[in-house]
Amino acid sequence: MKLSDFKALTFDVYGTLIDWETGMFTALKPLIEKVDHELTRDEVLQRHAYYESTQQFYTPAKRYQELLPIVYRRLAEEWGVEVTLEECEAYGQSVKDWPAFPDSPGALQYLKKHFKLVVLTNTDNDTFQHSQAKLQVEFDGRYTAEDVGSYKPESRNFDYMLDRLSCLGIEKEDILHTAESMFHDHQPANEYGLANCHIYRRHDKKGFGATMTPDMMPSIDFRFNSMADLVKAHQTELES
């Protein structure tokens, strides 16, 4: 199996192309500073992962920017902190400021010359517009949780993407699903028989950060520590 075997790269965005852990932790600092005991970055991210995933399960049709304020309130309750509605809503808007990983724009611009680029993302359309501007590339397909009415790892999100891509002449065997999250992306990619590429952004950290622990570790076809490393591997293939 080679990278050049595929026609389309389907991307997770937050955690893979956008540095959501940095954006998330920065936006949570006003809340963290009110807590009367010390919290590590990974403790914060792991509790966020729990409340985000459970809220997505219970309210799958709620837009991401409307779901995050609930997560903020649940964290505040757990940590014994009083917060206002305005503080919660401000956190929901913070996603628009979450930064891109430095290598994402250049890597995507290179890959656009060789593949169709598609996103399957757990966000809403308005929020994604701001993230796409940071990524500096036009995607060939954009499928959001708002479009589908549910969040990954739900199977309907992948059904929706595969159905839409088939209308563009892209079949399952043409796709390399490219993501960081084992829970949201690689586990369902295995279930769907999709070839997959792990962008291991947390290669120098322990645990799963802002994502839930998968039920079982998925199999991986390609693994790179960054988008830049993915580009280098593709260039090496072409040179050989």
- Residues 69 and 89 sit within 8 Å (Cβ to Cβ): yes
12 is catalytic: yes
Kindly report, residue by residue over 20-67, the tens digit of the pLDDT. 999 999 999 999 999 999 999 999 999 999 999 999 999 999 999 999
* Catalytic residue, candidates 12, 19, 174, 185: 12
Domain span at 83: 21-97
Say yes or no: 158 and 55 in one domain.
no
> Collapsing DSSP states into helix, strand and coil, what is residue 72?
helix
pTM over 0.85: yes
Say yes or no: 13 and 32 in one domain.
no
Say yes or no: 169 and 147 in one domain.
yes
Q: Which CATH number covers residue 121?
A: 3.40.50.1000
Those residues whose C-beta lies under 8 Å from the C-beta of residue 4, and which sit 6 or more positions away, are 114, 234, 237, 238
Say yes or no: 137 and 148 in one domain.
yes
Say yes or no: 131 and 225 in one domain.
yes
Kindly report, residue by residue over 80-129, the tens digit of the pLDDT. 999 999 999 999 999 999 999 999 999 999 999 999 999 999 999 999 99
